[in-house]
Structure 1
């Protein structure tokens, strides 16, 4: 008499069904990980930006450049400042921070704005894709303080304003 070992067809089908049920309940949790990762990358960029700006402000103060009205390089760092803050240009941010996985888009701004910067995960996108497509970005801007309409003298650059849009991450 021969001993047969192994699984029957019914046992194999039951195991496959159980694995299918388990994967159907676990997959939605893993799908959301990519969205959470994009948000975490952008939040990390914002934290790094704030730290880099503080360090640049400290170095500018030490060098006596804190109140420089014009765009001024800070030593040999490759970083430019104005009124003691980093200027919001793509090249300036890339010189101050080592970033990867994030693309930057610069808008030069107006008389009352020192420019703005949009950071988003992934490769370069057009302005239209950023505004109409899936919205997953951080918008950083800093306004200029103009005390009166008569002299039009810019006296300072205000604190940064950070707008986060994670609706399409």
Structure 2
């Protein structure tokens, strides 16, 4: 009786074909790299907004304007409207020095008027009303800070 030491060529081809079919059907579900990249960009913008708001608040506190419901400070030669020391929603893009011509755009999110402003990726074709944006909410009182939240891409 002859002992078999390995796999036949047909067995190897069948296994390779099965693995190929699994890779084609299952891999795209696990490797959604575009949404991961968009979400990383949104998280980066959130960090930039938080950093800029913190710097503006520090400058407002130095000037004694952190308790006022409306005032102005000058940062990098630009006048910024502040609310309780934090940038007003209308001026947050100036505080962050955000480029609204090439990479980002203001998103039309319900409720994002007045005390809120939302940003989304300029090249994102989906409707930003329900997903994929960063929302900045200005401070509502002297004891509450401005907030930034991210609604991730799906």
Q: TM-score under structure 2 normalisation?
A: 0.65
The residue that corresponds to 1:61 in the other structure is 61
Contact residue 120 and residue 133 of structure 2 kept, 8 A:
yes
The SS at the match of 1:162 is strand
1:69-148 pair list within 5 angstroms: 69-74=69-74, 76-89=77-90, 92-100=91-99, 101-105=103-107, 107-109=112-114, 115-123=115-123, 129-131=127-129, 135-142=131-138, 144-145=140-141
In the TM superposition, what whole-angstrom CA distance separates every residue of 1:103-123 from its partner, at most 9, and x where no partner exists? 2247443xxxxx001121225
Find the residue that maps to 2:136 and give its secondary structure. Answer: strand
Residue 33 (structure 2) aligns with: 33
Pairwise CA distance, 1:130: 2.9
Cα distance change on mapping 1:162 and 1:62 into 2, 3 Å = closer
* C-alpha separation in 1, matches of 2:50 and 2:150: 15
Structure 1 SS opposite 2:128: helix
- Point out where structure 2 has 5 or more consecutive residues left out of the alignment: 1-12
Structure 1 residues 124 and 78, CA gap change in structure 2 (3 angstroms)? farther
Taking only aligned residues, the RMSD between alpha carbons, in angstroms, comes to 3.3
